Amino acid sequence: MFYRIFLYKMFASSIFIFTFATENKYPMYPYADVQICYIAQKHIVKRYISKLSN
């Protein structure tokens, strides 16, 4: 349960940071930064889970 909450928190904060970081650079693509963030987050989570299993 804690692990799930941690993932949600990490995901939400990364979207928040990413949207603010890219807001001025990509004003025409409000969803692109969320998409990039989602892909990056999945990659990070995969690496984290593989570290846990080892």
Could you say which DSSP state residue 29 is in? -
pLDDT tens for 1-54 read 566 767 777 776 776 666 565 555 555 555 566 667 677 777 777 777 777 776
Q: What is the pLDDT of residue 40?
A: 75
Among 27, 33, 29, smallest CA distance to 14 is for 33
Our CA dihedral for 43, 33, 16, 9, rounded to 10 degrees, sits at -20
The whole-number pLDDT of residue 41 equals: 74
